């Protein structure tokens, strides 16, 4: 049949159905700049630029293994850390009894930033948003009764990666599992920390040296362990669109390869153990195509370094459903969102998957919500028949076209990075960070304008209040327990021996010894995470990030539905009365580096006519209060995502009072359980806002 004639017939029929509308009105452009048609045909397959190939063979577009899920389904992981090692251990064991096949450890923010639990800067961070690990003793408790020679363990750790990984290896050996039998992954992706997540400790150059130390050590002595998980997840969570997430993650991977080669390693020694980590959001087909494009592009990137082993070309990945798509409002909708995202991850060919719990926009997940999240994967795996066919999306007119478009658009961004000298240079210039923040501001503007629908948030809002049981962590009690355990450790160990190892770490940091190798022995001798970090910090220094905000993007994207005019009028009244514009200080207190929400608020309010300052990351309440007073702010906007508000906000209010500055209004936003609203209002907080996007 004549395909042109057939398509013409479709156009005529479609025009009749559309009546007064035009067919071209149904063409649309994604946030990534990709033009999407309402209909794709076999002709579109003639235009694709990538190779589809077969699974298990280069360029691995269809998957890194020949049999994929028909032989073995993806690994079901549950990312979790519950305040203490003992509580986390109970949760892991419960998960393993109920279908979980691999562990994924979330650490608290004090550990991420290399502080022991007794450090004065982490009073609100111990045990919040993850498990507190101060030493090998905590690691021993965390994995008590869990056979590490049989269990894959993934750890999300970047800043304090050396002492944490060292403690894990040392703990495994004390359990009776030699390091060569340990399986799992350490994230160890420091470049994206400088772009988005911000749980860095040391400056970029020594941080890259640490990455190389780990790759070198694990490639030689831990053949079953993945030395790095190159993470796009946190980029998308920070507001990156899927093309940005893909391009910048692959560019990071390229930089890590170059760093390892400079160390003298052979590409085939370490490339097969590199892994990736994607966020899976609500754009179903885009996420599937992104993962296919990623495998194709990575194969081509690694090929530039002339490996002899085809397995060096294969991209293997872990995925996690989106955290930023979880909403506090109408929270049960999150179960549906997570299910759709999990389906996309599986259709895209992930090797392991974590599904978020529906209540994580409110607090840490309960056992009830975690069970639903876990069962979501089990149902997909065992009830749908999806595992019976390899890569069912291959050959889809739309998916293959979308895959090629993503390849082309991502390559443009990678070329931009290459032109400035690689990702380290690009990060120093602020290029990826600026692009991601622009994308984030544009999306928030689309949501605020109702251009992009979020069910239960800006459309179809519930009329009745939902009661949701949430998990509450007594941060003060957890910290007391951790500090007590630390003191007991320090009283029972050989402190002269500890001092000797601290000096060895300093010498290695100053020279060329492998820091991981030395820290494993230091950990066995009961050096703490904070002590090992401090030893390296004395040589490397602690990195401070300059905080900037973009301007104009939000205002140019948001639609004026009359609300903007109302704001303009109110601002004019304020200026006439006070003689100046209202001034806001946006702050992030504690060790939480997730600053998307803070940046969005700062950008939006600045575009709307406020004078906006944004405080440096990791402020204490006292430092935030001082900055607000010195800047003559009218209001402080507190962004909190890691459950520290019940400790940090009272200290902020107290500091303002002590400095006779209680006239400065305080508003709070982020991840705050509704049950905590009265507590904050009783303190004198003027307004508490629910989480919208991040």
Instruction: Check 60, 69, 217, 233 and give the catalytic one.
Output: 233
Instruction: With beta carbons less than 8 A apart as the criterion, state whether 593 and 114 touch.
Output: no
| DSSP E strand stretches across 157-260 | 184-186, 225-226, 228-231
Q: What is the DSSP string of 526-579?
A: T--HHHHHHHHHHHH----PPP----SHHHHHS--SSHHHHHHHHHHHHHHHHS
Q: What is the DSSP string of 431-473?
A: HHHHHHHHHHHHHHHHHHTTSS--BTTTBS--SSPPP------
Instruction: Check 504, 588, 599, 634 and give the catalytic one.
Output: 588
Instruction: Check 50, 112, 234, 254 and give the catalytic one.
Output: 234
How far are the Cα atoms of 238, 324, 561, 693 from residue 451, in angstroms, in the given order?
20, 18, 11, 15
**23 contacts: CB under 8 Å, gap ≥ 6:** 11, 14, 15, 38
**458 contacts: CB under 8 Å, gap ≥ 6:** 447, 448, 450
| CA atoms of 184 and 177, how far apart (whole Å) | 13
Instruction: Check 50, 60, 69, 79 and give the catalytic one.
Output: 79
- Three-state DSSP at 336 gives helix
Task: Determine the Cα angle at 32 with ends 416 and 189, to 5°.
Answer: 60
Q: Is 554 a catalytic residue?
A: no
Q: Is 213 a catalytic residue?
A: no
Nearest to 485 by CA among 137, 113, 164: 137
Q: Is 92 a catalytic residue?
A: no
| DSSP E strand stretches across 598-653 | 611-614, 635-640
Q: Is 645 a catalytic residue?
A: no
Backbone region of residue 354 per phi and psi (left: phi > 0; alpha: psi in -120 to 50; beta: other values): beta
**261 contacts: CB under 8 Å, gap ≥ 6:** 267, 305
Q: Is 50 a catalytic residue?
A: no
How far are the Cα atoms of 98, 341, 383 from residue 525, in angstroms, in the given order?
36, 44, 49
Nearest to 294 by CA among 245, 329, 258: 245
Instruction: Check 318, 594, 599, 646 and give the catalytic one.
Output: 594
Asked whether the bond before 614 is cis by omega within 30 degrees of 0, the reply is no
Q: How many CA atoms lie within 13 Å of 541's alpha carbon, on the beta-carbon side?
A: 7
Q: Are strands 35-36 and 28-29 parallel, antiparallel or unpaired?
A: antiparallel
Q: Is 354 a catalytic residue?
A: no
Tokens 């501001």 sit on residue: 441
The end-to-end CA distance of the chain, in Å, is 51
Instruction: Check 391, 592, 607, 613 and give the catalytic one.
Output: 592
| CA atoms of 106 and 112, how far apart (whole Å) | 10
Query: Any idea which residues carry the catalytic annotation?
Result: 79, 233-234, 588, 592, 594
């Amino acid at each position: 049949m004549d395909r042109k004639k057939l398509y013409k017939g479709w156009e005529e029929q479609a025009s009749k159905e559309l009546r007064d509308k035009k067919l071209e009105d149904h063409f649309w452009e994604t946030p990534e700049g990709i033009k999407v048609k309402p209909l794709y045909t076999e002709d579109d397959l003639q235009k694709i630029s990538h190779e589809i190939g077969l699974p298990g063979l280069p360029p691995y577009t269809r998957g890194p293994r020949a049999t994929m899920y028909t032989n073995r389904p993806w690994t079901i992981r549950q990312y979790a850390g519950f305040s203490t090692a003992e509580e986390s251990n109970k949760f892991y064991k419960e998960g393993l009894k109920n279908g979980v096949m691999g562990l994924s450890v979330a650490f608290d923010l004090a550990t991420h930033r290399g502080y022991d639990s007794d450090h004065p800067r982490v009073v609100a961070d111990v045990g919040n948003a993850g498990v507190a690990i101060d030493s090998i003793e905590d690691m021993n408790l965390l994995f008590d009764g869990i056979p590490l020679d049989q269990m894959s363990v993934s750890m999300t750790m970047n800043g304090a990666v050396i002492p944490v990984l060292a403690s894990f290896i040392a703990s495994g050996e004390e359990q009776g599992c030699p390091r060569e039998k340990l399986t799992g992954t350490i994230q160890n992706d420091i470049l994206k920390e400088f772009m988005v997540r911000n749980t860095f400790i040391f400056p970029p150059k020594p941080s890259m040296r640490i990455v190389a130390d780990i790759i070198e050590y694990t490639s030689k002595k831990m053949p079953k362990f993945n030395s790095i998980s190159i993470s796009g997840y946190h980029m998308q969570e920070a507001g990156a669109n899927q093309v940005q997430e893909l391009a910048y993650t692959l560019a990071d991977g390229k930089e890590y390869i170059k760093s390892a080669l400079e160390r003298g390693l052979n590409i085939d020694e370490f490339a097969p153990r590199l892994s990736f980590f994607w966020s899976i959001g609500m754009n179903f087909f885009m996420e599937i195509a992104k993962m296919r494009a990623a495998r194709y592009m990575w194969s081509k990137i690694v090929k530039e370094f002339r490996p002899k082993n085809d397995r060096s070309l294969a991209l293997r990945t872990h995925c996690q459903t989106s955290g930023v798509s979880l909403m506090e409002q109408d929270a049960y909708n999150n179960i549906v969102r997570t299910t759709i995202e999990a389906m996309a991850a599986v259709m895209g060919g992930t090797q392991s998957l974590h599904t978020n719990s529906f209540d994580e926009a409110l607090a840490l997940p309960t056992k009830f919500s975690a069970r639903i999240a876990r069962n979501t994967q089990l149902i997909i795996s065992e009830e749908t028949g999806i595992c019976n066919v390899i890569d069912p999306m291959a050959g889809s007119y739309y998916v293959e076209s979308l895959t090629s478009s993503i390849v082309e658009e991502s390559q443009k961004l990678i070329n931009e990075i290459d032109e400035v000298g690689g990702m380290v240079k690009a990060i120093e210039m602020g290029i990826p960070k600026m692009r991601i923040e622009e994308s984030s501001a544009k999306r928030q503007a689309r949501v605020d304008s109702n251009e992009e629908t979020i069910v239960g948030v800006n459309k179809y809002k519930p009329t009745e209040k939902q009661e949701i049981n949430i998990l509450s962590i007594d941060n003060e009690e957890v910290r007391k327990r951790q500090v007590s355990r630390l003191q007991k450790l320090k009283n029972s160990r050989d402190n002269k021996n500890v001092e000797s190892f601290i000096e060895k770490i300093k010498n290695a940091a100053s020279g060329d010894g492998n820091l991981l190798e030395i820290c494993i022995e230091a950990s066995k001798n009961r050096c703490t995470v904070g002590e090992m970090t401090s030893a390296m910090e004395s040589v490397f220094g602690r990195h401070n990030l300059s905080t900037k905000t973009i301007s104009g993007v939000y205002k140019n994207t948001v639609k004026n539905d009359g609300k903007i005019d109302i704001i303009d009028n109110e601002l004019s009244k304020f200026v006439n009365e006070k003689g100046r514009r209202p001034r806001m200080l946006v702050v992030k207190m504690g060790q939480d580096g997730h600053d998307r929400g803070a940046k969005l608020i700062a950008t939006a309010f600045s575009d709307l006519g406020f004078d906006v300052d944004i405080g440096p990351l990791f402020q204490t309440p006292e430092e935030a209060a001082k900055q607000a007073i010195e800047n003559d702010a009218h209001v402080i906007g507190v962004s909190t995502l890691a459950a520290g508000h019940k400790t940090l906000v009272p200290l902020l209010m107290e500091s303002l009072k002590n400095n006779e500055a209680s006239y400065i209004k305080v508003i709070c936003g982020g991840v705050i359980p509704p049950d905590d609203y009265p507590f904050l209002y009783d303190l004198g907080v003027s307004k508490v806002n629910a989480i919208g996007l991040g």
